Structure formats: C-alpha cells, structure tokens
Structure 1
Amino acid sequence: MSTDEPIRDDEPGELETGDSASSSAAAHAAASDETTAALSDIEALPLAERAPGYQALADRLRIELEQSDPSRPSDSSRHTG
C-alpha cells in the first residue's frame, strides 16, 4: 500500500455500526451517570460511614464488568465470600 492510497476504515468487523455505537455510548453514559451519582451520595456521608458504600459500589461494578465480558467463564465457584 502506498502512502497515496486512501485509508479505509470500513473493513467488515473493524468498527461498530452507527446504531450499535450510539447504543453502546448511551449505555456507557448511563452507567457513568449512575456511578457518578453513587459516588456523590457516598461522599456526602461522614468519612467514618463511607466504607460500606464504597464496598457496595465496587461489588456492583465488579458484577457488571463480569457480566459484560463474554470471554469470562461463568464459574460461580470462584466467588468466595
């Protein structure tokens, strides 16, 4: 490929389609807004009372991440608590 040839970004499978990209962005924005709101609520608490809120938020985010990663096996035996 010479440097004079235009770069093609429309190869199949390389980029998300407009619809899936916008829905993905909307989902990310909503999740980000929820996280921001949760952090604001936690940080409004007295310092001594924040740990349970941070732990609950971390647990929720971990679960969401595990559910959104299709390459992770769904092995419930890994979770000890």
Structure 2
Amino acid sequence: MRLFRVLFSTTAVLLFLSSLEARPEMFLDATDLCILTCDKCYKNQALLNCANNCIDTSGKVLPFWKQQCPYFTTKHPLVQQM
C-alpha cells in the first residue's frame, strides 16, 4: 500500500510539472513583431528610429521602412505564428 501511495504521488507531481511545461506560447502583437523585424534589419540609430515608428503607429510599418527591409513583406516573414 505504501508503494502505491509513493508511486501515485510521484505520478501526480510529474503530471503537474509536465502541464506547466505544456503552456501555450504567448502570441506577439503587431508592435512586437514590428520591433523584432526592425532588430533583424537595422542597427544603431536606424534601429531606434524604426522601433520608435513601430511604437508610434501600433505596429503599422511605413512604406519607407518596407522598401529597405525585405522582412516586412509577407513573402519573407521574420516570425511565423502558429
């Protein structure tokens, strides 16, 4: 009987821990995706300007940035969400 309790307790703990690891991923909003794409394409002051544009426009990218970075197009997405 004691072995059964130990085995049951161990199984319950392992199931609980595995459920914590199986949490669904958090989705990125448009602003986060925009900033990550800016980071892929630009460095230094250009990165700062691009990221500020993402924040100011809630993730809507101006044509100026789209022309310079291929990752802003739908043909070459930087991050794909499931």
TM-score, with normalisation over the residues of structure 2? 0.29
Structure showing greater radius of gyration is 2
